[in-house]
Amino acid sequence: MKDLQNIKQRFGIIGNYIGLNRAIDIAIQVAPTDLSVLLTGESGTGKEVFPQVIHNHSTRKHGPYIAVNCGAIPEGTIDSELFGHEKGAFTGATDSRKGYFEVADGGTIFLDEIAELPLSTQVRLLRVLETGEFIRVGSSKVQKTNVRVIAASNVDVPLAITNGRFREDLFYRLNTVPITIPSLRDRGEDILLLFRKFAADFADKYRMPAIRLNKDAQSMLLNYSWPGNVRQLKNITEQISIIESERDISAENLKKYLPDYQAIKLPAVLRKDEERSFTNEREILYKILFDMKSDMNDLKKLVLDIIRKGDGTLEIHDSHERVIKNLFGDTNLEKQVTNVPDSDVVEFTARPVRNNIQDTEEIVEESLSLSGNEMELIIKALEKHNHKRKSAAKELGISERTLYRKIKEYGIDL
């Protein structure tokens, strides 16, 4: 326990949540090895601290440590940044250049947002992990490097594999030791500890008294969903420290900085940057529902026309009786059981009363629950396209990111 507290103090880790302590413990245990580590967790949870913990407790601690944000490097230059290039390899390559894997030889390289790497670069990275070999862009000479790789991602990597955006073999090679960083909303009292730490830091920075929360404000802070995690909490604490003249912050004042706050945590939180997308989805959903109703009415008329053909009678099995009754009701059909022994055949005679057709269109009561119908449509779209999310999202007229969010929101089992 003492070692754990020392590590937290050294690297500025605040909190006592069991999931956070577990993540630190795994990092310390894996540090002396050369195993690859994959950090997962939402954006803003503080994943960038753990590679430093691992590096500083490993035998490579005296070697170089390089952190690379893969999502911030353009696709056209990522290979050059990671593996280097030779002079004249491409336009603008006036000199030879070492890549990060060459510079970090004997140390540790942290690849943040690993899922943003292009597939071609993933092939090169897989070769480095398996053989320690790489080739500069524009060169044919194979070079060696001894680098420990720690990767991180805030997206669902298995989902990216399913969508063809991430290599499965690279995932298993990186995921030798997985570490999950918990979200801020799950850390309970840690939220208050972090707030007090940030408030004290900004008080020192701006030379003013630290802000404090009353009981109601503390409850609000604990009940908020924190989509931006620790990064969002830090930003809000700084805003309040600068803007508010009063140092004692009430719930009413705090709420101004949490515009999407809801007193009761709901299964899904509608964020302001998603309102436009939601409106478009709702319009599409209504259109599909109206089209389904029109198709149902056409189906009822078609079945009635089939029944009326010939002498106006049709033999169907008992298993179909419920469907006929749901479509036309008992008043439109006269049921007669045939006198055939051990037969399960029932004869229905249609009464061709045209005036009743219009009335039957209003018999079926349709659910007006937006979420229920939305979930059903998503499932149908996924089944139609063999669970290919990209195609299903295109069919529904929404983005693939929105579809993934709704799959998690509704707990759709794939």
pLDDT digits (tens, 9 = 90+) for 347-366: 444 444 444 444 444 444 55
Task: Determine if residue 158 is left, alpha or beta; phi over 0 gives left, psi from -120 to 50 gives alpha, anything else beta.
Answer: alpha
**Token pair belonging to 280:** 């478009």
The reported pLDDT for the residue numbered 269 is 47
Domain 2-182 identical in fold to domain 288-360 = no
Is the model's pLDDT at 34 over the cut of 90? yes
Cα–Cα distance, 311 to 307 (Å, whole number):
9
Q: Is the dihedral of CA 173, 177, 181, 182 positive or negative?
A: positive
**Token pair belonging to 168:** 């499965």
Cα–Cα distance, 70 to 174 (Å, whole number):
15
Domain covering 2-182, topology: Rossmann fold (3.40.50)
Region 48-67 average pLDDT: 96
**Token pair belonging to 374:** 């939305």
Q: Is 65 helix (H, G, I), strand (E, B) or coil?
A: strand
Say what angle helices 2-11 and 18-30 make with each other, to 10 degrees.
90
Backbone angles phi, psi at 81, to 5 degrees: -65, -40
Lowest mean pLDDT segment, chosen from 97-111, 204-218, 399-413: 399-413
DSSP 267: S
- Is 3.30.390 the CATH number for 288-360? no
Is the model's pLDDT at 337 over the cut of 50? no
Cα–Cα distance, 237 to 211 (Å, whole number):
9
The kind and range of the H/E element at 153 are strand 148-153
Residue 372 pLDDT class (50, 70, 90 cuts): low
Say what angle helices 275-308 and 370-384 make with each other, to 10 degrees.
80
Whole-model pTM: value is 0.63
Lowest mean pLDDT segment, chosen from 222-231, 309-318, 338-347: 338-347
Q: Is the dihedral of CA 387, 391, 395, 401 positive or negative?
A: positive
The reported pLDDT for the residue numbered 251 is 93
Give the residue, 286 or 111, on which the prediction is more confident: 111
Q: What percent of the chain has pLDDT over 90?
A: 59
The reported pLDDT for the residue numbered 388 is 84
Domain ranges (residues) in the chain: 2-182, 185-255, 288-360
| Residue in this structure with the two tokens 């030798």, named with its chain if needed | 176
The reported pLDDT for the residue numbered 175 is 94
The reported pLDDT for the residue numbered 139 is 93
Q: Is 45 helix (H, G, I), strand (E, B) or coil?
A: coil
Give the residue, 328 or 374, on which the prediction is more confident: 374
DSSP 402: H
The reported pLDDT for the residue numbered 241 is 95
Region 193-213 average pLDDT: 95
Domain covering 185-255, topology: Helicase, Ruva Protein; domain 3 (1.10.8)
